Amino acid sequence: MQENEIVELNIEKISNLGLGIARSDGFVIFVEGACPGDKVKAKISKVRKNFANAKTIEVLKPSKYRVEPFCKMQKVCGACQLQFIDYDYQLELKRQIVEDAIKTIGGIDINIPLPIRSPQTKNYRHKIQYPVSQTKVSKRILAGYFKPQTHEIVNIKHCPIQPEICDEIVEFIREYAVKFDISGFDEKSHSGDLRHIVIRSSVSNGNILLTLVINSTKLSDSIKKLANEIFNAFDCVTGVCVNYNPNKTNVILGQKSECAAGDDFIEEKLLDKKFKIGSNTFFQVNPQSAENIFSYVKDFIKNNYKVPLILDAYAGIATFGICVSDIAQKVVSVEENCESCMRAAESLKINNINNLEIHNSDAAEFFKAEKRRFDVSIIDPPRKGCTTESLDEVYRLTTGHIVYVSCNPATLARDLKYLCEKGCKVESIQPFDMFCHTYHIENVAVIKV
């Protein structure tokens, strides 16, 4: 098998990265743009020792699950890898992705149910992060998503998975950036003004917090003018922040932000609790699906414990802690991001919550110093999962159950295997579809210590 070779393939299943899987001449071939049940003509793009990568160039016989994407940019954008597959079947494929990871990586044989559906499959994404660049000749501002496996920006004019107002705001920024002589960022030369546009919108009230990420350490007059123009043009934009990121990095947000117009937060409401969300604080991109997760976790605790002591680790703005506070004796939330802890404290006041402690600390360091033991520990780490040291400490600190919330089936499976080797038992794993039309899947694992 050689690069650029054209082959006909029958797609058997899907990989954890949303690629079709086929076999030919002893090779496993990962095929972009293919659905299980398809027969495709594909072009080999890369050949390794035991596998190859390919891209679909023609569908010879479509799978019964193949549908027409509702977004015209689906094939070039790369953000919604599975949008050409029927949504119900997407859920089954995601179930299989979780099952494969848990069995092959974790060595755990457990029934994986279908993911809980997202309440919305369009306009569901309430946080967008667009990289910004500029054309060399016409000097047009480009903002959108990167093409798959590249840093070439697809200029998105309409994205049906986010609120429609976001398209209008981004188009306004394109126009007025040129008017105020604000340049787009050039990654290669590390030059230009505007690096990213970050939009957070509230489901509960429709308000929007906009953040302009700039390649600078100070606020220029032109950026200040742009911020005020946006704030004045859109009633729903209640705040425009500027984030300073002059570093040579792929990290979107720098450490410092300031409010250039309006408020530096928006409010969201989940399970009748109000939350303040800032420009540099973590909050789920699909709040309605997130509410399903919080409700699921809260119901589990309520049905199995009476006024428990709860640990809420990797807490962000203490969303889990606040949601379960009214069924707990006390909640202890741990988060290393300063702004998140500040927002969490503000949310406690809004909700009149008096039984939640906030600790601004690295989780692993907090675990080592903590003497109390908890009935339930809720952990929601980043995609890389937990360190073995953190798992050791959570295991030591927990007397009842660990509730592990994960957006990465592979690292979840690895960490569950480690906990099982210590004597824990995985009682259930429930997937939730947080990221419709992508291969990403959120999971809640309930583990008995």
As annotated, the active-site residues are 407
**CA nearest 63: which of 6, 9, 11?**
11
For residue 418, give the 3-state DSSP assignment.
Answer: helix
**Beta carbons of 433 and 98 less than 8 angstroms apart:** no
- Helix H or strand E segment including 341: helix 338-350
**What beta strand segments (E) does 4-140 contain?**
6-10, 13-14, 20-24, 27-32, 39-47, 51-61, 127-134
**Beta carbons of 243 and 279 less than 8 angstroms apart:** yes
- DSSP 8-state assignment for residue 186: B
Strand-pairing partners, residue 446, are: 403, 428
| Greatest extent of the chain over all pairs of C-alpha atoms, in Å | 66
d(CA 167, CA 157): 6
* 146-to-79, 133, 155, 282, 371 alpha-carbon distances in Å: 8, 11, 9, 22, 47
- Count the neighbouring beta carbons within 10 Å of the beta carbon of residue 53: 18
**Beta carbons of 91 and 115 less than 8 angstroms apart:** yes
* Strand bridging mode 374-379 / 330-335: unpaired
For residue 131, give the 3-state DSSP assignment.
Answer: strand
d(CA 313, CA 335): 7
